[in-house]
């Protein structure tokens, strides 16, 4: 990409990227891009459109059993609702920077669009944004718990058989205020683990072999967090603590994995942890947020 930008700069003699990114207002840039894409679309011949369709991996249908996946989505949402999470139907797009503005995510890995939007690549970020908006509008300090199933689009290619650039994930987000003694943290982990257990057992007829807690840096009382959570939930769930040092600044305090057994092979099928997104969005250090994601497409294929 950098090589292409250098060629453009050499050909035109001006730094177009700096001008477009730093000197134009958002509305001016949007108007410019609308005109550019309108001209590009009008230049396309139908045969060229078909060629683009065949070459673009993002636009191809996924190799899934559609009816099975839809049925699993509905059942998943129904069970998550029974576990106290309010289902949401998210937009296919979210504001530009939904992921990159609050976490260590490169915008280059996301399909950016015009009108100040991007194609949704992580529903937990979008739900956190919705929660922050609700809190801001209503001055709401109550515990908020939402869930969704959504088709995500991500650009990095993955060399995994059957992998598609777009796939369905079930997501849960819990957000509240720090009330002391790690009460929010313990309850959030317990509720998410219980919800995952229910979905995996009732919808996919499989059990969690174990949950893996992975301590991460960047959290108040982080040195106590893993131990406290482990002690509180060890009699409710099969759980282990993995202290392997792995660079990770996406989660704070705790990251977790849910592991299932498929034909004798251990598979990490769910992932989550504490994030500071609502703290950043609301500029309030007392905000707490815990997220989870479960691969619906993948589960439907392997089970």
pLDDT at position 163? 66
Lowest mean pLDDT among 13-27, 84-98, 227-241: 13-27
Q: β-pairing, 117-119 with 144-153?
A: unpaired
Reported as a pLDDT band with limits 50, 70 and 90, residue 194 is very high
Cβ atoms of 124 and 293 closer than 8 Å:
yes
Residue 36 has pLDDT above 90, yes or no: yes
Tokens of 195: 């919800």
Q: Using 50, 70 and 90 to split pLDDT, how confident is the model at 26?
A: confident
The stretch 150-164 carries a mean pLDDT of: 77
Strand arrangement, sheet containing 144-153:
86-87, 144-153, 166-177, 287-295, 265-274, 254-262, 208-215, 239-241
What pLDDT, on a 0 to 100 scale, did the predictor assign at position 159?
A: 65
Whether the predicted pLDDT of 8 surpasses 80: no
Summary mean pLDDT of the chain: 92
- 244-298, pLDDT tens digit by residue? 878 788 999 999 999 999 999 999 999 999 999 999 999 999 999 999 999 999 9
Q: What pLDDT is stored for residue 4 in this prediction?
A: 74
| 164 pLDDT tier (thresholds 50, 70, 90) | confident
Give the pLDDT confidence score for residue 118 in this predicted structure: 96
| Structure confidence at residue 7 (pLDDT) | 77
For the segment 24-40, the average pLDDT, to the nearest whole number, is: 91
Give the Cα separation of 217 and 224 in Å (integer): 12
| 119 has pLDDT over 90 | yes
In angstroms, the CA 43 to CA 186 distance is 57
Q: Is the pLDDT of residue 162 over 60?
A: no
Which domains are assigned to the chain?
A: 2-43 (no CATH), 66-302 (3.30.930.10)
Binning pLDDT at 50, 70 and 90, where does residue 77 land? Answer: very high
Q: What angle do CA 189, 155, 282 make, to 5 degrees?
A: 45
Rounded Cα distance, 162 and 47, in Å: 28
Q: E strands along 59-183, which residues?
A: 86-87, 93-95, 117-119, 144-153, 166-177
pLDDT digits (tens, 9 = 90+) for 40-65: 999 999 999 999 999 999 999 998 99
Model's pTM, two decimal places? Answer: 0.92
């Amino acid at each position: 990409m950098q090589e292409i930008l250098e060629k453009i700069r050499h050909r035109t003699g001006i730094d177009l990227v700096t001008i477009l990114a730093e000197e134009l207002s958002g509305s001016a840039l949007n108007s410019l891009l609308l005109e550019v894409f309108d001209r590009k679309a009008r230049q396309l011949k139908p045969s060229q459109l078909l060629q683009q369709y065949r070459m673009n991996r993002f636009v191809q249908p996924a190799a899934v059993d559609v009816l099975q996946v839809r049925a699993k989505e509905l059942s998943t949402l129904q069970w998550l609702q029974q576990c106290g999470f309010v289902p949401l139907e998210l937009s296919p797009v979210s504001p530009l920077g939904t992921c990159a503005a609050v976490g260590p995510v490169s915008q280059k890995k996301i399909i950016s669009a015009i009108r100040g939007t991007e194609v949704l690549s992580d529903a937990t970020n979008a739900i956190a944004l919705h929660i922050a908006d609700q809190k801001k509008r209503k001055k709401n300090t109550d515990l908020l718990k939402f869930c969704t199933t959504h088709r995500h689009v991500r650009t990095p290619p993955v060399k995994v058989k059957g992998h598609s650039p777009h796939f369905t994930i079930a997501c849960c987000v819990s957000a509240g205020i720090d009330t002391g003694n790690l009460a929010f943290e313990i309850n959030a982990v317990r509720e998410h683990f219980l919800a995952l257990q229910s979905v995996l057992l009732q919808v996919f007829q499989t059990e969690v072999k174990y949950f893996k807690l992975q301590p991460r840096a960047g959290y108040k009382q982080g040195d106590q967090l893993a131990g406290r959570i482990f002690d509180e939930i060890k009699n409710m769930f099969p759980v282990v603590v993995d202290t392997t040092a792995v660079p990770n600044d996406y989660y704070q305090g705790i990251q977790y994995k849910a592991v299932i057994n498929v034909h004798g092979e251990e598979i990490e099928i769910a992932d989550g942890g504490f994030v500071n997104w609502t703290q950043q969005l609301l500029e309030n250090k007392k905000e707490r947020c815990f997220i989870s994601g479960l691969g619906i497409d993948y589960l439907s294929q392997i089970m």
